[in-house]
Each structure stands twice: as C-alpha cells, then as structure tokens.
C-alpha cells in the first residue's frame, strides 16, 4: 500500500508517520508540496499513484486566521478540495482532518458525527471563529468532490511535535507545563474556567501523592531517609519524570521544606555520607516501561516503600475523564486531583 501523509512535520503528521512507518509512507510537508497548488498536487498524485492520502496539513493559528483570512481559506478550504479531487482521480482513499471549531460550542454535551454546525446552539449557530469557518469550507469542498473519503473532527491535539517558539514545542502539554511555572497566568486562566492541574492524572498516582505526604509528615529527617526511584521506557527524554518530581514535592510538603533546597538529582564517584534531610532521585530507562515509581522511606531497622506501577497509559486517560466529569458545573478556579478524589 502506498501512503501519502501531508503536513508531515506537524504534530499530527509526525505521529501519523510513526503509525504508518512499516509502510514507508511518503512524508510531505510544505517544502515538498504546496497543497494550495492544484495543478502541482494533481501531477504529483498521478506520479505517485497512492492508495491512501492523509491530510494533516492546515493553517492552525486560530488568531492568525482572523487577520490573514486569504491564507486561511487557501490552506484550510481550497487545498482540501484539491487534495480530495486528486485522490479521487487516482482511486485513493482520502482522509481529511478537520476541527470541532466548525461548531459554535453552544451544545451542553458532545457532538455526534452526523450533526451539522449550527443545529444545536446557544450562540447563534455556525463555526466558532474564522478558523472554524475555513475548516468547515474545507469539509464542504471534500464533500462536493466526493469519492472515497473520511472526515475527522478533532479537538485539541496532544503530542510532542508541532511548531516551536524559542526551541520549545507549542502543544497542550508544553503549554500547561509553562503555565504551571507561571502561576499567575494559570490563575488568570482559572478565573474564566475550572482548571484541574496535576503532574499525573492517574488516580493511583494521586493516591500515592497523598500517602507520601502523610508518611513524610510522620517520619521526619531524623527518622527516615527519602529516596525516589523511577523507571520509564527508553524513549523518554526528560528526567526525573514529572511524577517523580510530584512525589518529591509531596514528601517535601509533608516535611515542610522546599524540594529545590533538599533534592539530590544524581550521585557519582566518592560522594561522602548521605546528608540528613535530603530527598534523592534515581532514574532508570529501558524497554517499553510505561511508568514505575517507588518512594523509599529508609529508617533504622525498617523500610517503608510506596510503589505505583502503570502497565497501560489508559490509566492516565481514565483519570483525566474522571477529573473532567468532576469539573462539570464547578465554578471557575484552580483545582487539583486531591479535590477531585476528595483527599
């Protein structure tokens, strides 16, 4: 099977490239194909003769679409029609990614696949903004062309790729991490909507946070040494993990100290005796480990260990869904998983 992925350098395109890696897909970005060039697109498809075309190319700068409407329409509205036609002409299946912004967001529950924008609304109907308008026009262009096609409406994408500013990717995770470091901004955002922030959304991990804080409050630095050991898959790029740091914060909070002042991130060579009151971190990487974390309270004559092991990433999603359900109807504010779980 010949697969063409458009927008291959974007967040979605990069992950699609990994999914179809075994099929050696053609990974095309704007440097390889100008999707707004109808003749160029048609000629390339006639040459490649793909079986499947996946369009992840889009002008996704929501604010930019308001000020650069011509470009938004070319990329988000005209180009999908060109791609759909070129795919149809060579007998390829065409998959086009759209957005939930084609709706106005006025419906209280989720939208179904067959619902049309403007049918369920509290805000006058139609797309939420011009970005949504341009994407809806793209959907309509694909429908008009016909052929064998699929339309996928996505919400906020989660991933590691995407555009960068100052060397850091602009994506959901990076945005929340940045806001977490800029507490004032996070609080400003929480004035408009309920926001639940946690270094890990797993219910089990958040129970471990609470347990670690409680144990640390009972076993002070003269009684127990605290070491945190974490292991993840070999592809993880940061260390210690955010969850390990969250466990460290919980231990430090239990003892009433600042983690930055007592943490020891590495040991090598002749280190001397362990300093009382420090919180040590050890990092392991290998295989496909989803996430293992153990907090060791080492005392004279006994040892207490609190361990959480994740065998599936599904636990993080389940925790996030539980948090979202809990947040429904809550007043704007900054909440934690402790409040979600009643801890």
List residues with catalytic annotation. Answer: 232, 236
Cα–Cα distance for residue pair 58/211, rounded to 1 Å: 46
Cα–Cα distance for residue pair 39/224, rounded to 1 Å: 71
Cα–Cα distance for residue pair 281/263, rounded to 1 Å: 7
If you compute the radius of gyration of the chain from its CA atoms, what whole number of angstroms results?
Answer: 25
Cα–Cα distance for residue pair 36/341, rounded to 1 Å: 49
Angle at 333 between CA 316 and CA 310, to 5 degrees: 10
What is the torsional sign of CA 197, 163, 129, 157?
negative
The token duo for 175 is 């945005």
Cα–Cα distance for residue pair 173/193, rounded to 1 Å: 18
Angle at 168 between CA 35 and CA 322, to 5 degrees: 90
Query: Beta strand pairing status for 303-310 and 26-28?
Result: unpaired
Cα–Cα distance for residue pair 57/79, rounded to 1 Å: 9
Cα–Cα distance for residue pair 197/306, rounded to 1 Å: 23
Cα–Cα distance for residue pair 209/236, rounded to 1 Å: 22
User: Please, are residues 255 and 288 in contact by the beta-carbon 8 Å criterion?
Assistant: no
Give the H or E element holding residue 142: helix 130-145
Query: Beta strand pairing status for 303-310 and 291-299?
Result: antiparallel
Give the H or E element holding residue 194: strand 194-196
Residue 221: burial class (beta carbons within 10 Å; 0-12, 13-18, 19+)? middle
User: Please, are residues 73 and 137 in contact by the beta-carbon 8 Å criterion?
Assistant: yes
């Amino acid at each position: 099977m010949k697969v063409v992925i458009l927008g291959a350098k974007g967040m979605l395109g990069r992950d699609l490239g990994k999914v179809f890696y075994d099929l050696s897909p053609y990974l095309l970005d704007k440097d390889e194909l100008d999707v707004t060039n109808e003749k160029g697109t048609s000629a390339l498809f006639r040459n490649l003769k793909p079986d499947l075309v996946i369009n992840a190319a889009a002008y996704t700068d929501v604010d930019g679409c308001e000020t650069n409407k011509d470009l938004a329409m070319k990329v988000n509205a005209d180009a999908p029609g060109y791609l759909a036609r070129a795919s149809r002409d060579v007998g390829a299946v065409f998959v086009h990614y759209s957005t939930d912004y084609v709706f106005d967001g006025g419906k209280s529950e989720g939208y179904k696949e067959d619902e049309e924008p403007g049918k369920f609304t509290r805000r006058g109907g139609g797309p939420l903004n011009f970005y949504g308008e341009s994407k809806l026009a793209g959907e309509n262009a694909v429908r008009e062309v016909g052929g064998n096609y699929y339309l996928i409406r996505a919400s906020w994408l989660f991933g590691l790729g995407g555009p960068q500013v100052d060397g850091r990717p602009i994506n959901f995770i990076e945005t929340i991490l940045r806001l977490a470091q800029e507490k004032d901004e996070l609080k400003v955002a929480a004035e408009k909507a309920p926001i639940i922030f946690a270094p890990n959304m797993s219910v089990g991990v958040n129970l471990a946070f609470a347990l670690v804080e409680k144990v640390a409050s009972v076993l002070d630095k003269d009684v127990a040494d605290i070491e945190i050991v974490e292991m993840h898959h070999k592809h993880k790029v940061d260390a210690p993990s955010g969850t390990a740091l969250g466990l460290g914060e919980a231990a430090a909070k239990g003892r009433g100290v600042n983690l930055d002042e007592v943490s020891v991130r590495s040991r090598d060579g002749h280190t001397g005796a362990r300093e009382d009151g420090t919180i040590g971190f050890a990092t392991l990487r290998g295989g496909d480990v989803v996430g293992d974390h153990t907090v060791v309270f080492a005392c004279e004559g006994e040892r207490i260990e609190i361990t959480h092991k994740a065998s599936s990433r599904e636990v993080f999603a389940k925790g996030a869904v539980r948090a979202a359900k809990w947040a429904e109807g809550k007043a704007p504010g900054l909440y934690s998983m402790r409040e979600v779980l009643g801890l």
